Structure 1
Amino acid sequence: MFVRNYMTKSPITISKKTPVFEALEIMKKYNIRHLPVVSEGKLDGVVTEKMLLTVSPSPATSLSIYELNYLLAKMTVEDAMVHKVIKVSPDTTIEEAALLMRENKIGSVPVVEDEKLVGIITVIDIFDALVKFFGYGKPGTRFVLEAKDEVELITEVSQVVKEFDVQIQSIVSMAKDNERVEMMLRLSTIDTEPLLEAMKKRGIKVNFYS
């Protein structure tokens, strides 16, 4: 799962001389909250809706409407953007990008290749990747299995899947605190009873299925 497969390619961009008001209008028009700031294809920085609103005058300001419009017209993205940008390459894994966002408390990361901006990946894109990874939205059944040994569990499950000629849509395993392994398995079938019976015969513990 790599960033290149889930990023927004050729994202909408602005220059650092773009007026703040214009940048806000672009975000509103395209329903986005993050804009890469570029110059000749190279990344200069990133600006978010929150940053732009922070530098904009408060609605409670005592300035007149004429003074307010004049001030907004003079303010540019350069006054609000982040210059030192955390970025990734198209070959960065989804989990690495997610960890970067989590550690730095940011909602997006620009994607750069050969010093050129080629895309942007956001928290929403990470969620989309996760949903696809777990196979949600496709007809099938999810099983949560448990065993002492991961390799043995995978071997047994593979035999059952082969026996019933069904496809594995996704498989995720995680070590539990009690030194056992829990596995989430999503199969391309809704006929669960024969599968459950076969798993029980092989000694596979099924904690949950839906």
Structure 2
Amino acid sequence: MIVQNWMKSDPTVITSSMLLSEANRIFLDQSIRAVPIVDNGTLRGLLTRAHCLRAAENVARTQDKHEFDYFTNKLKVKDVMAHFPDTIEAGDSMEHCLRIGQEDGRSQFPVLDNGKV
């Protein structure tokens, strides 16, 4: 079994300059847990729902109106995303993908096909 047969063929991608609040809305609207960050056709990072929750938790902990406003109106995806994440290739075997996930403790990987997400 190869990754290409299991992956989403036209994944949602976002840019690093997008507001984190907008990215969070995409997670909720599309019921997804991770999204690749692509700028000018190049993979720059990976944003997970967990990244958004950690950022929101920090704001909720302080209960500061200015931090909430910053979180809502200024915090960008590039501020919290995982930069240059590990990737897998569309032609890799699922066994290879699962092995990497187990070794690294990860469950989401951007899939590249000829260098493109």
Instruction: Name the TM-score, length of structure 2 as normaliser.
Output: 0.90
Which 5+ residue runs of structure 1 have no aligned equivalent? 118-210
CA distance in 2 between counterparts of 1:111 and 1:7 reads 8
Report the aligned-residue RMSD.
1.5
Structure 1 SS opposite 2:111? strand
Determine which structure has the larger strand proportion and give its number. 1
- 2:59·2:71 contact (CA, 8 Å) conserved in 1? no
2:60 equivalent in structure 1: 59
Which 5+ residue runs of structure 2 have no aligned equivalent? none
Q: Write the mapping of 1:151-170 to structure 2, written as runs, cut at 5 A.
A: none
1:111 equivalent in structure 2: 111
1:93 equivalent in structure 2: 93
Structure 2 SS opposite 1:35? strand
Structure 2 SS opposite 1:17? coil
Q: Write the mapping of 1:16-165 to structure 2, written as runs, cut at 5 A.
A: 16-56=16-56, 57-64=58-65, 67-117=67-117
Q: Residue by residue, what CA displacement relative to the aligned partner does 1:103-132 show, whole Å, maximum 9, x if unpaired?
A: 111121111122211xxxxxxxxxxxxxxx
Count of residues paired in the alignment: 116
Higher relative contact order (CA 8 A, sep 6+): 2
Instruction: Name the TM-score, length of structure 1 as normaliser.
Output: 0.52
CA distance in 1 between counterparts of 2:2 and 2:95 reads 9
The Cα shift of 1:61 comes to 2.2
**Amino acid of the residue matched to residue 2 of structure 1?**
I
User: Where in structure 1 do 4 or more consecutive aligned residues deviate above 6 Å?
Assistant: none
The Cα shift of 1:67 comes to 4.9
- 2:59·2:68 contact (CA, 8 Å) conserved in 1? no
CA distance in 1 between counterparts of 2:67 and 2:104 reads 37
Which of the two has higher C-alpha Rg?
A: 1
Indicate how the Cα distance of structure 1 residues 94 and 67 shifts in structure 2: closer, same or farther if over 3 A, else same: closer
- 1:45·1:85 contact (CA, 8 Å) conserved in 2? yes
The Cα shift of 1:32 comes to 0.7
The Cα shift of 1:40 comes to 2.4
The Cα shift of 1:51 comes to 1.1
Indicate how the Cα distance of structure 1 residues 100 and 71 shifts in structure 2: closer, same or farther if over 3 A, else same: same
Indicate how the Cα distance of structure 1 residues 67 and 110 shifts in structure 2: closer, same or farther if over 3 A, else same: closer
